[in-house]
């Protein structure tokens, strides 16, 4: 450098000396707001375990969590304790092609002539293997 020459820093790149590459800085995140963190934590809930079918029913049905069986005919078959009881009802009913067990109400629906299997978190369904 020349004597008596003053090197000024660049306001844009914040360098003291020209010709030196800028140092990369990690972007900073604003701190999380407590109310948002609490709301996010409330939305993330652990999934309940899918109840298993008894061996007799497990051999005959594929259990489909968060799926509702829809068909041409659907009959209500009273309140059942779990999907296994609903599978028993389907086995005992002639023409039953699938069952849908509504988790919150514990209602069992027997479905004939299944037309589609629809994603629905309120149901657990079973179809013959």
79, part of any domain: yes
Residue 71, both tokens: 């068909």
| Residue 79's pLDDT band (cuts 50, 70, 90) | confident
Q: Looking at beta carbons, which pairs linking 80-85 to residues 24 or more positions away fall under 8 Å? A: 80/106, 80/107, 80/108, 81/106, 82/51, 82/106, 83/51, 83/53, 83/124, 83/126, 84/51, 84/52, 84/53, 84/54, 84/57
In a domain, 61, yes or no: yes
Q: Is residue 32, in this structure, part of any structural domain at all?
A: no
pTM over 0.85: no
The answer to the question of residue 89 being in a domain is yes
Number of domains composing the chain: 1
* In-domain check, residue 1: no
| Residue 45 belongs to a domain | no
Cβ contacts of 71 within 8 Å, gap of 6 or more = 97, 98, 111, 112, 113, 114, 115
Most confident of 13-17, 18-22, 77-81, 92-96: 92-96
Domain of 122, in residue numbers: 55-128
Residue 80 falls within a domain, yes or no?
Answer: yes
Checking if the pLDDT of 101 tops 60, the result is yes
Tell whether the model's pLDDT for residue 70 goes beyond 70: yes
> Would you say residue 86 lies in a domain?
yes
Q: In this structure, what CATH number is given to the domain that contains residue 97?
A: 3.50.4.10
């Amino acid at each position: 450098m020349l004597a008596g020459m003053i090197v000024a820093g660049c306001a844009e790149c914040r360098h003291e000396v020209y010709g030196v590459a800028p140092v990369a800085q990690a972007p900073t995140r604003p701190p999380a707001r407590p109310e948002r963190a609490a709301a996010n934590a409330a939305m993330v809930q652990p999934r309940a375990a899918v109840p298993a079918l008894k061996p007799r029913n497990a051999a005959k049905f594929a259990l489909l969590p968060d799926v509702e069986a829809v068909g041409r005919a659907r009959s209500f078959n009273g309140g059942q304790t779990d999907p296994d009881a609903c599978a028993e009802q389907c086995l005992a009913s002639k023409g039953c092609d699938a069952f849908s067990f509504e988790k919150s109400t514990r209602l069992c629906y027997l479905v004939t002539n299944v037309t589609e299997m629809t994603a629905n978190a309120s149901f657990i369904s079973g179809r013959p293997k």
